[in-house]
Amino acid sequence: MKLTKDTKILIIGLGVMGGSYAKALTDQGYKVSCITKEAADLRIGLEGGMIYKGSCEVEPELVSEAELIIFALYPAAFIGWIEKYQHLISPGTVITDVTGVKSGVVYKVQEMLRDDVEYIAAHPMAGRERSGVEYADPSVFRGANYIVTPTEKNSLEAIKLCKTLGEELGFLRISELAPEEHDRMIAFLSQLTHIIAVTLMNCNDSDGLEKYTGDSFRDLTRIAKINDRMWSELFLMNKEALLDEMDRFMEEFAEFRSYLAAEDGKRMREKMRSSSARRSLFDKPAK
Amino acid sequence: MKLTKDTKILIIGLGVMGGSYAKALTDQGYKVSCITKEAADLRIGLEGGMIYKGSCEVEPELVSEAELIIFALYPAAFIGWIEKYQHLISPGTVITDVTGVKSGVVYKVQEMLRDDVEYIAAHPMAGRERSGVEYADPSVFRGANYIVTPTEKNSLEAIKLCKTLGEELGFLRISELAPEEHDRMIAFLSQLTHIIAVTLMNCNDSDGLEKYTGDSFRDLTRIAKINDRMWSELFLMNKEALLDEMDRFMEEFAEFRSYLAAEDGKRMREKMRSSSARRSLFDKPAK
């Protein structure tokens, strides 16, 4: 199956991510339908021109006519949906997702899925602090990474389709990683950073600090406004990799602390020079 | 003494901060001179219209004609300058500074300073990751905090002068804190955040991570590019307060880790809800 403007695309779950997908694809000329729980979200999707039709029920016809289904649900809800409704999916359909962890989802879903439906997993590495379809905005995809995480069960055709989807959504860099590699990377780059932000926000509750705050503190805590239900699921599904990264961070932090306690300016400066040099690698590429 | 457009202002040290002060004040119509070490910096200051005259030597006349002297030096260099050259300062002159820590500087300098010269300390809470006068840019002061840290040795007149200076520089909020309060606040809001950024940047040196990084990681490590000489001085001068804040952070981080290890989603979610609520306090005020 190839992605064309006639491909019937169904999005399951119209939140901030599902809505951004819908908007991006509709803007590109695709016909997008959706199934989502809340009538209010469906209305926003229809009135905002993100989708051309949809339902708050799992309507058999909406599911069976779809050729590409994109799941924009929390991990547990995604797995639960497949268990309950996969019999409604037509043979030959490709399904993909937006889940932020992979090993714990991909193998489970591929294991339980019918042989005549293919699930190719992907992680769009872009998001907003706010949740809800009213915050949907595909411009967050520009300059961002889209990672496809195939397994040996996937066909080259589906991998290609999924990469084309990433391009059509407007992502800058489309790449491929094994689910386990993806999860180690995400434990460090995304999950650890969220826990640091939450911790920093919680570790000092003195009154009035907000009066004196500067940009550094604001930058480090921007992501401390966090969707607690989604992230606790993601943390738990990636527990081992995340615990490893947390331990590495703690060890490094304790090392810096020991230099400060010993008034070892030389070693502190070495750490700062090393971080300065390494940070240059991470500068945003010019668009 | 009152600040007027005729006040003779001398800036000692034309780096990114001294240059930004010079530019802001010159733009407001003040006459600003400077003393700085490097001829190249002096040239940038003159050619960029930041100052109208200056020298790379501590010229007695430049110092003695000044009515307001602003020290934009690293802490140790500031203290050293006072020791060596304070005899050149004219009676009645007010001096101020931009140093990022206060207790370790203010009392020492006030102690050694002549009785006929007044030092009123201040901390402009704005900056850039880059150092050097070529990055001077007073627009970073807009929306930022300017904190005056008087002691019992200061006159109301000098405190008022210093606050007026903050206003003229373009700061949004001018406030007053005791040096010790300032240092506790800065240990948390600024120094701890810099150490976290450095640690995060150093704790995982896997190859290729930059290919997958998103905005969260970039935000948390922006300040990991750091002036190691200046910051190690600032950390060491505020050692006790900073060690306290580091310990509080580590304790809170370890608590979150224990919830994850125990798969206690409920407690993780409580932490995230608390951080989300508290973070709202720190949103940037609309300008």
pLDDT at A128 over 80: no
- Residue A250, min C-alpha distance to chain B (Å): 7
The Cα A90–Cα A117 span in angstroms is 8
Query: What is the mean pLDDT of the segment spanning B172-190?
Result: 95
In three-state secondary structure terms, A4 is: coil
Residues whose CB falls within 8 Å of the CB of residue A145, separated by 6 or more in sequence, listed in order: A125, A126, A171, A172, A173, A174, A175, B211, B212, B213, B214
Measured CA to CA in angstroms, residue A9 lies from A51, A94, A106, A145 at distances of: 10, 10, 21, 22
- Residue A285: predicted pLDDT: 63
Q: Six-digit token pair at A53?
A: 């039709």
CB pairs under 8 A between A and B: 268
Question: pLDDT tier at B286 (50, 70, 90 boundaries)?
Answer: low
Contacts of B211 in chain A (CB under 8 A): 145, 173, 175
CB A173 within 8 A of CB B137: no
In this predicted structure, the answer to whether residue B18 has a pLDDT above a threshold of 50 is yes
Q: In chain B, positions 185-244, which contact chain A (CB-CB < 8 Å)?
A: 185, 188-190, 192-206, 209-226, 228-229, 231-233, 235-236, 239, 242-243
- SS3 at position B61: helix
Among the partner-chain residues B194, B217, B231, the one whose CB lies closest to the CB of A189 is B217
pLDDT of residue B128 exceeding 80, the answer is no
The architecture in CATH of the region B9-177 reads 3-Layer(aba) Sandwich (3.40)
User: Are the C-beta atoms of residues B269 and A232 closer than 8 Å to each other?
Assistant: yes
What digits encode the pLDDT tens for the residues A161-199?
A: 999 999 999 999 999 999 999 999 999 999 999 999 999
Read off the pLDDT of residues B33-48 as tens digits, 9 standing for 90 and up: 999 999 999 999 999 9
Q: Give the residue among A183, A221, A171, A182 at the shortest CA–CA distance from A199.
A: A221
Q: Which residue has the tokens 């309950």?
A: A84
List C-alpha distances in Å: B201 to A147, A269, A277.
22, 14, 10
B166 confidence band (pLDDT: 50, 70, 90): very high
Instruction: Flag whether pLDDT at B285 surpasses 70.
Output: no
Does B287 score more than 60 pLDDT? Answer: no
Residue whose C-alpha is closest to residue A244's, from A187, A161, A196, A160: A187
Judge: A218–B192 Cβ closer than 8 Å, yes or no: no
Cα distances from B177 to residues A120, B148, B183, in angstroms, run 58, 6, 9
pLDDT value at residue A153: 97
What pairs with residue B97 in β-bridges? B71
A68 pairs with which residues across the strands?
A9, A94
List the Cα angle B24/B188/B210 in 5-degree steps.
Answer: 80
Give yes or no for a contact between B197 and A221, defined as CB atoms under 8 angstroms apart. no
What radius of gyration do chain B's Cα atoms show?
Answer: 21
pLDDT, tens digit (0-9, with 9 covering 90-100), for A267-285 = 999 999 999 999 999 887 6
Q: What is the pTM of this model?
A: 0.89
Look at B117 and B281; give whichever has higher pLDDT. Answer: B117
Tell me the shortest Cα–Cα distance from A271 to chain B, in angstroms. Answer: 7
The percentage of chain A sitting over the pLDDT mark of 70, rounded to a whole number, equals 98
Residues in chain B, total? 287
Could you give the angle at the alpha carbon of A80 between the alpha carbons of A78 and A83, nearest 5°?
Answer: 115
Q: What ipTM is given for this predicted complex?
A: 0.89
The CATH superfamily assigned to B182-280 is 6-phosphogluconate dehydrogenase C-terminal like domain (1.10.3660.10)
Percent with pLDDT over 70 in chain B: 98
* Helix extents (H) in B93-238: 103-112, 156-169, 179-186, 193-202, 215-221, 228-237
Per residue in A69-119, pLDDT (tens digit) is 999 999 999 999 999 999 999 999 999 999 999 999 999 999 999 999 999
Out of B189, B211, B216, whose CB is closest to A217?
B189
Q: Residue B215 — pLDDT band, cuts 50, 70, 90?
A: confident
The β-bridge partners of B125 are B145
Lowest mean pLDDT among A6-10, A34-38, A277-281, B164-168: A277-281
Distance, CA of A177 to CA of A174 (rounded, Å): 10
Q: Encode pLDDT of A189-246 as tens digits.
A: 999 999 999 999 999 988 889 888 888 899 999 999 999 999 999 999 999 999 999 9
Residues of chain B in contact with residue A246, where contact means CB-CB under 8 angstroms, are 253, 257, 260
**Starting from the edge strand earliest in sequence, which strands make up the sheet with A122-125, in order?**
A122-125, A145-148, A173-176
- Ordered by start, the domain boundaries in chain B are 9-177, 182-280
The order of strands in the sheet holding B32-35 is B53-55, B32-35, B9-12, B68-71, B94-97, B118-119
The two beta strands, B68-71 and B9-12, are parallel
Q: Which helix (H) or strand (E) holds B12?
A: strand B9-12
| Per-window interface: B 95-124 vs A, CB < 8 A | none
Going edge to edge, which strands form the sheet with B173-176? Answer: B122-125, B145-148, B173-176
* Closest residue, chain A, to B126 (C-alpha): A214
Band of the pLDDT at A287, cuts 50, 70, 90? very low
Please report residues of B whose CB lies closer than 8 A to that of A223: 216, 219-220
User: pLDDT tens for residues B230-252?
Assistant: 999 999 999 999 999 999 999 99
Q: How far is CA A139 from CA A19, A27, A34, A143, in A?
A: 12, 12, 20, 9
Least confident of A72-86, A100-114, A133-147, B120-134: B120-134
